């Protein structure tokens, strides 16, 4: 029988200092547990970031920087509202693409080939190849020119060759796990634009007011800039990249067959995907905001209203922002180029390989996917040769914007159709409201595409 009197007596006979020490230890352990929780949340959040973060960061490539810099230098803070406007559009589209990859277990082009006309797919793929190659050429040139801004003695042709070969070797001869980790770390380069904004005198009141209150003049030049911004943010190459990267992530977890990938659809995977995509798109639009704001506060305020390339933007900012601003702006161009070039080449390879049912995937070795890596190599070589032949990056960006205007609405039609199809997506199809938003975005991008082509031709 338990003697409660004896136990109570022994408890109260414990010396006061021992009880105090015991209570202190218990309190310390309690604080450790409490303080651990926020770090655990942050750690889990960072672990969730992957394809969506990379896609969002790659969207702010040197070509995008040129477009945003031109928007800021030509119109000041007036178009800052675009950074807020495009955020939900980008996030909805990219989450739809990611959902397709997770649920079907294969890339976007493979799904289009399986459920729609092959001829349309081939047409879109050819346009995508041309568009991405023009962007690769422009990005390689911008990276080389920005490096010369920091180290003037270096040769432009040597740097273009160095960046092209370096990117190729990294894509071909590293494992997908290491490759994706490297791209994830490269996103840090985009913070250079945030640092640049805080290094200059920025009228935050005017900037935030222009972000919240839309303003547009409907002039021909402004319509073209609006369409160019939409084309460079909601970009077709990111649709293919996002979908295929979700598949690669599942393969990395051991799901080698399409059947196995289709069976393993856990709710936490979709939740994790949404966190990744919405975070990545927020990050992308945040950087767009800072680039437009910096260009407006320095270039537009000083009467400089025309920017022809990303490196020119860095040079133009130098007299107003100082060496610190100049340095970080140039570093940002190089970093985003290193991130975007492999994404551009990779998305082209995914689209073409899946269209023709070739063996593909960055997780494969070169001898397992010759055609897939061949597309990457050809894209890089054309981009390299274009720069050595004194390619005009501005013309490339204009043609790229026009082609994006043609391609984006077509691919968006497929993306939204697949997401709303119960036979393809089963119980994981998009909510009707989300699908309705997808159709709205498709209509907006169609109008933007028509406006881009019209402004280019007339």
45 pLDDT above the threshold of 80 = no
- Residue of higher predicted confidence among 103 and 325: 103
Sign of the four-CA dihedral 188, 190, 196, 198: negative
Cα dihedral value 227, 231, 234, 235, nearest 10: 170
| Cβ pair 95, 450 in contact under 8 A | no
For the ranges 139-153, 185-199, 294-308, 393-407, the maximum mean pLDDT occurs at 139-153
Distances (CA, A) of 191 to 55, 377, 389: 16, 30, 33
Instruction: Return mean pLDDT, the chain.
Output: 83
Confidence band, pLDDT 50/70/90 cuts, at residue 29 = very low
Query: What tokens appear for 162 in the block?
Result: 């160095």
pTM summary value: 0.84
Confidence of residue 40 (pLDDT cuts 50, 70, 90): low
For residues 87-110, average pLDDT: 94
271-295 pLDDT tens trace = 888 888 999 999 999 999 999 999 9
Q: CATH code for 61-457?
A: 1.20.1740.10
Confidence label for 39 from pLDDT (cuts 50, 70 and 90) = low
Say what the pLDDT of residue 11 is: 41
pLDDT band at 420 (very low <50, low <70, confident <90, very high): very high
pLDDT tens figures, 364-412: 888 899 999 999 999 999 999 999 998 877 777 767 777 777 788 999 9
In whole angstroms, how far apart are CA 68 and each of 216, 290, 337? 16, 9, 15
Q: Detail the DSSP E strand segments found in 381-434.
A: none
CA distance 382 to 289: 32
* Res. 413 pLDDT band, cuts 50 70 90: very high
pLDDT beyond 50 at 9: no
Give the per-residue pLDDT at 31.
52
138: left (phi over 0), alpha (psi -120 to 50) or beta: alpha
The domain limits of the chain are 61-457
The stretch 185-212 carries a mean pLDDT of 85
Q: What is the spatial distance between Cα 388 and Cα 6, in angstroms, rounded to a whole number?
A: 93
């Amino acid at each position: 029988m338990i003697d409660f009197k004896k136990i109570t007596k022994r408890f109260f006979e414990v010396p006061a200092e021992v009880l105090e020490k015991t209570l202190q230890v218990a309190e310390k352990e309690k604080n450790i547990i409490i303080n651990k929780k926020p770090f655990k949340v942050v750690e889990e959040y960072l672990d969730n970031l992957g394809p969506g973060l990379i896609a969002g960061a790659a969207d702010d490539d040197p070509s995008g920087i040129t477009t945003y810099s031109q928007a800021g230098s030509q119109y000041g803070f007036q178009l800052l509202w675009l950074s807020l406007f495009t955020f939900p559009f980008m996030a909805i589209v990219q989450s739809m693409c990611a959902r397709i990859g997770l649920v079907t277990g294969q890339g976007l082009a493979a799904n289009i080939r399986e459920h729609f006309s092959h001829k349309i797919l081939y047409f879109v793929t050819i346009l995508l190849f041309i568009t991405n190659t023009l962007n690769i050429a422009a990005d390689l040139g911008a990276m080389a020119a920005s490096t010369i801004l920091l180290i003037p003695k270096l040769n432009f042709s040597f740097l273009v060759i160095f960046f092209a070969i370096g990117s190729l070797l990294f894509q071909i001869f590293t494992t997908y796990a290491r490759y994706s980790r490297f791209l994830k770390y490269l996103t840090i380069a985009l913070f250079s634009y945030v640092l640049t904004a805080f290094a200059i005198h920025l009228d935050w009141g005017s900037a935030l007011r222009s972000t919240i209150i839309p303003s547009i003049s409907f002039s021909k030049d402004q319509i073209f800039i609006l369409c160019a911004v939409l084309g460079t943010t909601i970009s077709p190459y990111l649709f293919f990249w996002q979908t295929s990267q979700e598949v690669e992530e599942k393969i990395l977890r051991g799901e080698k067959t399409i059947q196995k990938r289709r069976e393993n659809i856990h709710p936490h995977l979709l939740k994790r995907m949404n966190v990744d995509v919405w975070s990545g798109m927020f990050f992308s639009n945040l950087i767009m905001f800072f680039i437009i704001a910096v260009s407006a506060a320095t270039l537009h305020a000083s009467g400089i209203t025309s920017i022809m390339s990303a490196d020119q933007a860095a040079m133009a900012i130098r007299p107003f922002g100082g060496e610190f601003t100049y340095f970080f702006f140039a570093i940002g161009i190089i970093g985003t180029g290193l991130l975007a070039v492999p994404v551009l080449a990779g998305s082209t390879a995914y689209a073409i390989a899946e269209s023709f049912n070739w063996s593909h995937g960055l997780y494969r070795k070169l001898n397992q996917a010759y055609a897939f890596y061949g597309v990457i190599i050809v894209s890089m070589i054309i981009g390299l040769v274009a720069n050595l032949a004194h390619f005009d990056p501005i013309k490339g960006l204009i043609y790229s914007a026009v082609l994006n205007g043609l391609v984006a609405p077509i691919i968006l039609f497929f993306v939204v159709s697949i997401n709303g199809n119960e036979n393809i997506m089963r119980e994981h199809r998009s909510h009707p409201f989300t699908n309705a938003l997808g159709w709205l975005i498709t209509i907006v991008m169609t109008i933007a595409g028509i406006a881009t082509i019209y402004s280019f031709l007339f």
